Amino acid sequence: MTIPARDALPGPMRGFLVRLDRAVDWLAEGAAALLVLVEIIILLAGVIWRYALDNPLVWVGELGEMLFLWLVSLGAVIALRRSEHMRMTVLVGRLSPVAQSFLARLAALAATIFVIAILVPGYGYMVQQAAITTPTLQIPGSWEIAGELAAFVLLLFTALRQLFAGATWRELLASFALVLAIGLGLWALEPVLDAIGNGDLVIFFIGMVGASILCGVPIAFSFGISTMAYMVFTTTIPLSVVVSQMDQGMSSIELLAVPMFVALGLLLEMTGIARALVNFLSALVGHFRGGLSYSLIGAMFLVAGISGSKAADQAAIAPVLLPEMRSRGADAGELVAQLASSAAMSETIPPSLVLIIVGAVTGVSTSALFTGGLPPAAVAALALIVLIFFRTRRERPSTERLPLRDIGWTFVVAIPALVLPLLIRYAVLDGIATATEVATLGVIYSVLVGLFVYRRFDWRRVFPILVETASLSGAILLIIGAASAMAWALTQAGFADSLASLMTGIPGGRAGFLAVSIIVFIVLGSVLEGLPAMVLFGPLLFPIAQQVGINVVQYAIVAILAMGIGLFSPPFGVGFYQSCAIGRVASDQALGRIWPYMASLVIALAIVAAVPWLSTGF
């Protein structure tokens, strides 16, 4: 006789949790939105007082960094509530609903354990920091940690809510039993783990991380819980070190650019700036064979890097171009292939968040990355254009060329939009604003253009944009924090030295090292969504690149392009499936169409790797 499954929570408790859930939602979103606004104001004030008034506000960086850590901690709460943390769902999505529900409980339980393991030692770390005062504002260092821990309490509630909401007793018991069995097994195997030396790194950082990711556990939590398990079962290092390493990994002032550029990217679509750019490019080349495809490549080249994510870049452009391309008879799978490959092409276009984050975690000059990122992206764009030319050379133009007067008018309308990318890049390269501050100039510029030029500014969307900014920033920065802790653990275990010995011994010297690095970052970009792979392995591989005589700017550009190709390549690259969702096309339709585009990007990547001047000549 089969016992029917019943919800694990009684009705009155479910009602109470729903009301409490709404209160947490209101608190997290309201506080996060306010912090985004405050950060914009603080950074803008810093630029004005330093550049215009020649009277720098020395406290801006200190206050901005503290509020930033509060912001991204709250953003992590919002991202978990919305299921927006980066995770691999390709395999989980093919399972039965029952299996998916069980794995969802397992993921929520993993998040719960991770947060508890942060909160308990985090309190002790906060007490230690109370004895330290900040150099400018003279406030206790514990304030920063206290704000993060308060947000993590909300994160714990959210994880518990997801664990119990709609769960059956069988799912809960099965998930708890599995986690308990894993914990007891590792405890029993402690003598074996000690005996195998660095072989335990394979168990925790390949086996446990890989299994967690494949089961749909968000990447940040997969990194975090595996690092903590490694430290608990193989070392005597206190878990407070994980808290401090995560805090250090997320507290770089350069990373404050992340929420600012995310907000700017969301404003591009709302204010009509992206549409103006696309309309001008379509008027200019839309009458050629494959003209709208060229417009897509050009629009991604201009818009890319300003947003906080490639999905946002695509979402700003696709609704304008793809319907028109469909009406002209373009194959749906071909559209998605072009959308995905153009996003992969544009990873190194400044002021890309990837460039900023790579500079922050590896110590490479952000300005040098901004300067070196454009030519390689242009080579990749040219490779896609050549492919499109040959694939569309037998097509007949579907529209007539617009009169010069109409083209000129679309250009005039697009001037404010065309100025924005130039303004951002000029402000950084000319020293007007840092990479951290420049997005605030773009935000103010976009708001003014939306209000007074395009007259497209929906005040009702301001709060959702601020909340979305916090959510995406929290998802990104939690990965960076967890990856920083994992990288520290790997370094302490001697993995960095072993990796250096292995990579420097690769046959072929510089060329062999670059070739292997390209393969590694393509694979890692596909499996780990790119950015986590760069944060985790960048600090380990960049010093080795210098040892074999590779300019770190070129190595960064090559690694980022390889990562982008992996991110948008099926079957595992999540960017490919995002492109399918944005283009509203089944992945099966695009699967066979995307490979020529990825092959073109690989050829472009090989050229960039073979010609250092493309990355360093300017």
Task: Quote the pLDDT of residue 574.
Answer: 66
61-67 long-range Cβ contacts below 8 angstroms, 24+ apart: 61/253, 62/134, 62/135, 62/136, 62/137, 63/137, 64/39, 64/253, 64/256, 65/144, 65/251, 65/253, 65/256, 66/134, 66/143, 66/144, 66/147, 67/35, 67/38, 67/39, 67/42
**Has residue 254 got a pLDDT over 80?**
no
Give residue 246's pLDDT: 86
Number of neighbouring beta carbons within 10 Å of residue 369: 26
Q: What is the mean pLDDT of the chain?
A: 81
Q: What percentage of the chain reaches a pLDDT higher than 90?
A: 13
What would the DSSP string read from start to end of 535-595? Answer: HHHHHHHHHHHHHTT--HHHHHHHHHHHHHHHHTSTTT-HHHHHHHHHHT--HHHHHTTSH
CA 216 to chain centre: 17
pLDDT given at position 5: 44
Check residue 115 and give its pLDDT.
92
Query: Is the pLDDT assigned to residue 537 strictly greater than 70?
Result: yes
Q: Which of 267, 247, 271, 270 lies closest to 259, judged by CA?
A: 267
Lookup: tokens for 356: 């900023």
The 3-class SS string of 105-164 reads HHHHHHHHHHHHHHHHHHHHHHHHHCCCECCCCCCECHHHHHHHHHHHHHHHHHHHHHHH
Each residue of 64-79: b (16+ CB within 10 Å) or e?
Answer: bbbbbbbbbbbbbbbb
What is the number of H-type helices and E-type strands within the chain?
28, 0
- Torsion angle, alpha carbons of 302, 306, 307, 308, to 10: 140
Amino acid identity, position 359: G
**Cβ-proximal residues to 478 (8 Å cutoff; 6+ apart), any chain:** 72, 76, 79, 85, 220, 250
Q: What is the pLDDT of residues 65-123, one digit of tens each?
A: 888 889 989 999 999 988 888 777 767 878 888 888 898 899 999 999 999 999 988 88
Is pLDDT at 380 greater than 80 in this prediction?
yes
Q: Tokens 């209000």 map to which residue? A: 451
Dihedral pair phi/psi, residue 140, rounded to 5°: -60, 140
Return d(Cα 287, Cα 300) in angstroms, integer.
19
CA distance linking residue 85 with residue 560, whole number of Å? 21
Asked which of 123-137, 377-391, 498-512 is least confident by mean pLDDT, the reply is 498-512
How many whole angstroms separate alpha carbon 5 and alpha carbon 304?
48
How many Cβ atoms are within 10 Å of 547's Cβ, its own excluded? 12
Q: Residue 260: what pLDDT?
A: 82
Task: Give the C-alpha separation, 225 to 114, whole Å.
Answer: 5
Sequence length of the chain is: 618
**Cα atoms found within 13 Å of the Cα of residue 80, Cβ hemisphere only:** 38
Q: pLDDT for 434-469, tens place per residue? A: 767 777 888 888 899 989 888 888 888 899 999 988
Token readout for 196 is 């195998």
What angle, 0 to 180 degrees and rounded to 10, lies between the N-to-C axes of helices 273-285 and 291-303?
150
d(CA 599, CA 604): 9
Q: What is the pLDDT of residue 178?
A: 92
pLDDT at 4: 40
Give 383's contacts (C-beta < 8 A, 6+ positions apart).
345, 600, 601, 603, 604
What was the pLDDT predicted at 314?
A: 66
CA distance 402 to 283: 7
Question: Each residue of 195-222: pLDDT tens digit?
Answer: 887 778 888 888 888 888 888 888 889 8
Q: In DSSP terms, which residues pair with 140 in a beta bridge?
A: 133
Cα–Cα distance, 357 to 305 (Å, whole number): 12
Q: Is the pLDDT of residue 414 over 80?
A: yes
Answer yes or no: is pLDDT of 180 > 90: yes
Would you say 414 and 453 are in contact if contact means Cβ atoms under 8 Å apart? no
Beta bridge partners of 133: 140
Q: Is the Cβ–Cβ distance between 478 and 85 less than 8 Å?
A: yes
Q: What is the pLDDT of residue 606?
A: 92
Please enumerate in sequence order all residues whose Cβ is within 8 A of that of 579, keeping only pairs 6 or more positions apart, or say none: 314, 336, 339, 340, 343, 568, 590
The average pLDDT across 385-403 equals 75
Residue 490 has a pLDDT of 79
The average pLDDT across 270-297 equals 76
Task: Identify which has the larger pLDDT, 185 or 304.
Answer: 185
Does the pLDDT of residue 24 top 50, yes or no?
Answer: yes
Of the candidates 238, 213, 221, 240, the one whose C-alpha atom is nearest the C-alpha of residue 162 is 221
Q: What is the CA radius of gyration of the chain?
A: 25
- Spatial CA neighbour of 158 closest among 240, 231, 73: 73
Residues contacting residue 43 through CB under 8 Å, at least 6 positions apart? 60, 64, 256, 260, 436, 437, 440
545 CB neighbour count, 10 Å cutoff: 23
Per-residue pLDDT band for 495 (boundaries 50, 70, 90) equals confident
578-594: pLDDT as tens digits? 677 667 776 667 777 88
Q: Where are the domains of the chain?
A: 11-251, 254-326+368-458
366 phi, psi to nearest 5 deg? -65, -40
Residue with tokens 């894993």: 182
Does residue 171 carry a pLDDT above 90? no
- Which of residues 289 and 243 earns the better pLDDT score? 243
Q: Which of 261, 530, 254, 264 is nearest to 367 (CA)?
A: 254
